[in-house]
Amino acid sequence: MPAKIISGRDISTTMRAELAEEVAAMKADTGVVPGLATVLVGADAASEMYVGMKNKAASTMGLNSRQITLPADTPEAELLGVVEGLNADPEIHGILVQLPLPDHIDEARIIEAIDPAKDVDGFHPISAGRLMTGSGAFFSPCTPAGVVEMLLRSGHDPSGQHVVVVGRSNIVGQPLANLLLRKAPGGNATVTVCHSRTRDLAAVTRTADILVVAIGRPEMITADHVAPGTVVIDVGTHRVDDPDSERGYRVCGDVLFDEVSEVASAISPSPGGVGPMTITMLLANTVESARSAG
């Protein structure tokens, strides 16, 4: 029996409607409009597309969306000044500096310059430290938080489950493992983290109740990696050549969907899975920041 589809697009639509109602109520009750500032340095096509999608989604939900676009040769000191100005701006509750940055700019220094109270991307070292220790307020990184929300809203609570995460990046794999381990809703899982050096990867992934794949390799996970009945979340998004397509390419994930969907009990597609949730969680963090600031 083919797997049930966990549609990040559908869950995202529901969440954005909920957030739009909250934004409207906040504005009516307090006059506060959550503000999201996106900073883009240079003219990278993919970054421009991502920032455009984020700003469009923010505006549609009623947020105050502000985009700052700087030339690729902007000095690091000037970018730091922009960030400092946004830190001090009471109308801005969330700051996102789109990565990657030009080579002459130290990304870590820029991220560390963002006020942790406005770090809606969840990349600041203080945010990461509080996530790991479970102490203090912090914003969860958007993609891992989106994965957890998808599991909860699709009826696959990670609590008590063995979750295998394939990928150990600072952006997805490691923070996701910490979220799943927390003594909190969406947590209390038993977590195994795999990566490119894991021996006999398939033997490990077949032990999973829930398998989350964020390895960054197109269609790497096949049916051989998945035990019958496993819930599979595919974080990857890739554009691969396809001469049979009119566009000459197709979009796929880290999971070989057609194969794995015949074995799994539920699976997220790519595209249409985790991608929309990442933007939605960014907006949710911004609304939460505005709520806390008020």
Give the HSE-up count for residue 239: Cα atoms under 13 Å, Cβ half-sphere: 5
Determine which one of 10, 27, 29, 54 is catalytic. 54
| Chain center to CA of 39 | 18
Determine which one of 98, 118, 119, 254 is catalytic. 98
In Å, how far are 70, 157, 193, 210 from 4, measured between CA atoms? Answer: 44, 16, 25, 14
Determine which one of 119, 121, 209, 234 is catalytic. 121
Place of tokens 């589809």: 5
**Residue 121 catalytic?**
yes
**Residue 98 catalytic?**
yes
Closest CA to 278 of 94, 12, 67: 12
Q: What are phi and psi of 248, to 5 degrees?
A: 85, 0
By annotation, the residues acting in catalysis are 54, 98, 121
